Structure 1
Amino acid sequence: MRALPVLVLVLGLAGPAAADDAARVAAQATITRQVEAFGRDDAPAAYAQAAPAIRELFPNADLFIGMVRTQYRPVYRHRSFVFGAGRDTGEASVVQSVAIQDEYGVDWTAEYSLVRDADGQWRITGCRLIKAPGTNA
Structure 2
Amino acid sequence: MLKRIACIAFCSVLLAHASARAGDPLSEAQQVISDQLSALVARDATKAYALASPDIRAKFPDENRFVDMVRKYYGPLSTSSRYAFGRSKLLTDGETVLQEVTISARDGKDWTAVYELKHQQDGSYKINGVRMLSKSTSTGI
| TM-score interval for Structure 1 and Structure 2 normalised by the shorter chain | 0.7 to 0.9
Aligned to 2:103: 100
Q: How many residues align?
A: 116
Give the % identical residues.
35
Structure 2 unpaired stretches of 5+: 1-20, 137-141
Aligned-residue CA RMSD (Å): 1.9
Question: Could you list the per-position Cα deviations for residues 97-125 of structure 1 after superposition, in whole angstroms to 9, with x for gaps in the alignment?
Answer: 00011111111100000011001110000
Change (3 A) 1:107 1:117: same
Displaced runs of 4 or more, over 2 A = none
Matched, 1:68 2:70: yes
Kindly indicate whether the alpha-carbon contact (under 8 Å) linking 1:20 and 1:88 is maintained by their aligned counterparts in 2.
no
Aligned to 1:121: 124
What one-letter code is carried by the residue in structure 2 that aligns with 1:42? D
What one-letter code is carried by the residue in structure 2 that aligns with 1:37? A
Give the TM-score, by structure 2 length.
0.77
Aligned to 1:48: 50
Give the TM-score, by structure 1 length.
0.80
What one-letter code is carried by the residue in structure 1 that aligns with 2:71? R
